[in-house]
Amino acid sequence: MKHTERRLLEGSVWRGIVSFAVPIFFGNLFQQLYNTVDSLIVGNFLGSDALAAVSSSGSLIFLMVGFFNGIAMGAGVVISKYYGAKDYENLGKAVHTDVAFGLAAGVLLTALGMFLAPQILVLMGTPESVLPNSVAYFRTYYAGSLAFVMYNIVMGILQAVGDSRHPLYYLIFSSLVNVALDLLFVGAFRWGVAAAALATVISQAASAVLCLVRLLRTKDVYQVRIQRIRFHGTMLRQIIGIGLPSGMQNSIISFANIVVQSNINKFGVMAVAACGAYSKIEGFAFLPITCFAMSLTTFIGQNLGAKQYERAKRGAGFGILCSVLLAELVGVVVFALIPQLAAAFDDSAKVVAIAVRQARTEALFYCFLAFSHCIAGILRGAGKSRVPMFVMLIAWCLIRIAYISVTVRFLPRIEVIFWAYPLTWSISSVIFLIYFLKADWLHSFETPASPKSR
């Protein structure tokens, strides 16, 4: 077993977390480039209507992809637990069950996405001028669902055992492929917005193949063997038991964001384009948040599996502090530079003005988002994935939707919608803080019996 993949269990806590988080940060950075490059090239070559078409599909795409990614996250917790406990028999079963689930989920997601695209986009109130392009983008994207799901599955396996470097290398390569294909398909050939989705699908497929080859060729305990890929019933129940709440959480948040997007759509094409541009900028701002949250899930899972409780506690505190401070620093930068950043996507005065209003409403509250995501990551790593699901159901779905549905009727201004995010981030942070201080999450892996004893 390689020492670099045991660094979360041994040595300095902060060095282990940082050395694991940094490749995740850069990996997420390059992954964020996929959709951002789509929007930049589409906005500059095809105009505001085309940018709005890409933007209107974002929440809907994550609604479906996020559910299966949540299940993959649950698999990562199970894998990291057995890896930390050095239970290699169950580790192998978890890995191969995870791959089998990814293959089945990818096929199912393709069918659902292709069929449901037009109906849901119409229900969202997507402006008629951008609806045909939105449907074309959405359907092309979902035609490559197997690539997206399998990439998240195989990347999650590597990260669960402490390898965050190889997914980074593969993402750098595929991001360069994505940029080249976007410029070729959209900039040179002018094939339209569907071509931007096609470039993303091809690039993600390249990442998935490279990660899978890594798992097939490694000689370590988590090696994938094609003949062993199948569902192990007990292991599948464990994975779904932890992953289903995370998947439902992702879908719940996405559903709430679809409601938000539906209200934004009522303000016209320029508002859709502006909020789409800001969402890409915000995606980069969230990178310090997501990299520490993902790192904490693996760190906590491995160390609780190894019964290193004090180490898990110290790692949790360090990760929360770093993520909150970095998120607020990034928020200040976005607040200051938003006019220039928004103009890079679309330099229309109205688009830039709306994006500025959104950023200067939300950016200084990133610290609360970071805190909520870190606590959620810690609890998922401890196997308590239902808690984040319920907290985010209450704060990020029910309260967010109720606030917008009521307030917009009396104050039909787009700023009212923007305030939904800081408000609900703050509420979830308070709930998470109370739970984190009172609950015994450190010993969560002690009570369930292992598959061997069942």
pLDDT of 111 reads 87
Q: Which of 224, 225, 237, 212 is nearest to 149 (CA)?
A: 212
pLDDT of 58 reads 65
pLDDT of 387 reads 92
Highest mean pLDDT among 28-32, 251-255, 292-296: 292-296
Can you tell me the distance from the alpha carbon of 343 to that of 355, in angstroms, rounded to the nearest whole number? Answer: 9
| 356-394 as b/e: b if 16+ CB within 10 A | bbbbebbbebbbbbbbbbbbbbbbbbbbbbbbbbebbbb
Could you identify the residue written with the tokens 């992953």? 243
> For 143-152, 334-343, 363-372, 425-434, which range has the lowest pLDDT when averaged over its residues?
143-152
Q: Is there a domain that residue 54 lies in?
A: yes
On average, the pLDDT of the chain sits at 87
Domain that holds residue 397: 3-449
Q: Is there a domain that residue 454 lies in?
A: no
Give burial (CB, 10 Å; 0-12/13-18/19+) of 2: exposed
Highest mean pLDDT among 18-22, 42-46, 124-128, 433-437: 433-437
Residue, of 48 and 92, whose pLDDT is higher: 92
pLDDT of 59 reads 65
pTM of the model: 0.77
> For 65-69, 103-107, 328-332, which range has the lowest pLDDT when averaged over its residues?
65-69
pLDDT tens digit sequence for 158-203: 999 989 889 889 988 988 898 899 899 988 888 888 888 899 899 9
pLDDT of 326 reads 92
Cα distances (angstroms) measured from residue 330 to each of 218, 256, 311: 38, 25, 29
Residue, of 339 and 133, whose pLDDT is higher: 339
Could you identify the residue written with the tokens 């679309």? 346
pLDDT of 125 reads 75
Both structure tokens of 412 = 């039909």
Q: Is there a domain that residue 410 lies in?
A: yes
Element (H, E) at 147: helix 145-160
Residue, of 104 and 119, whose pLDDT is higher: 104
pLDDT of 175 reads 85
Confidence of residue 96 (pLDDT cuts 50, 70, 90): very high
Residue, of 436 and 255, whose pLDDT is higher: 436
| pLDDT exceeds 60 at position 426 | yes
Number of domains making up the chain: 1
- Ordered DSSP codes for 253-320: HHHHHHHHHHHHHTT-HHHHHHHHHHHHHHHHHTHHHHHHHHHHHHHHHHHHHTT-HHHHHHHHHHHH
| pLDDT exceeds 60 at position 452 | no
Cα distances (angstroms) measured from residue 121 to each of 116, 134, 212, 278, 382: 9, 8, 34, 20, 37
Give burial (CB, 10 Å; 0-12/13-18/19+) of 274: buried
| pLDDT exceeds 70 at position 79 | yes
pLDDT of 453 reads 35
> For 82-91, 249-258, 278-287, which range has the lowest pLDDT when averaged over its residues?
249-258
pLDDT tens digit sequence for 196-241: 889 989 998 999 999 999 999 999 999 999 999 999 998 999 999 8
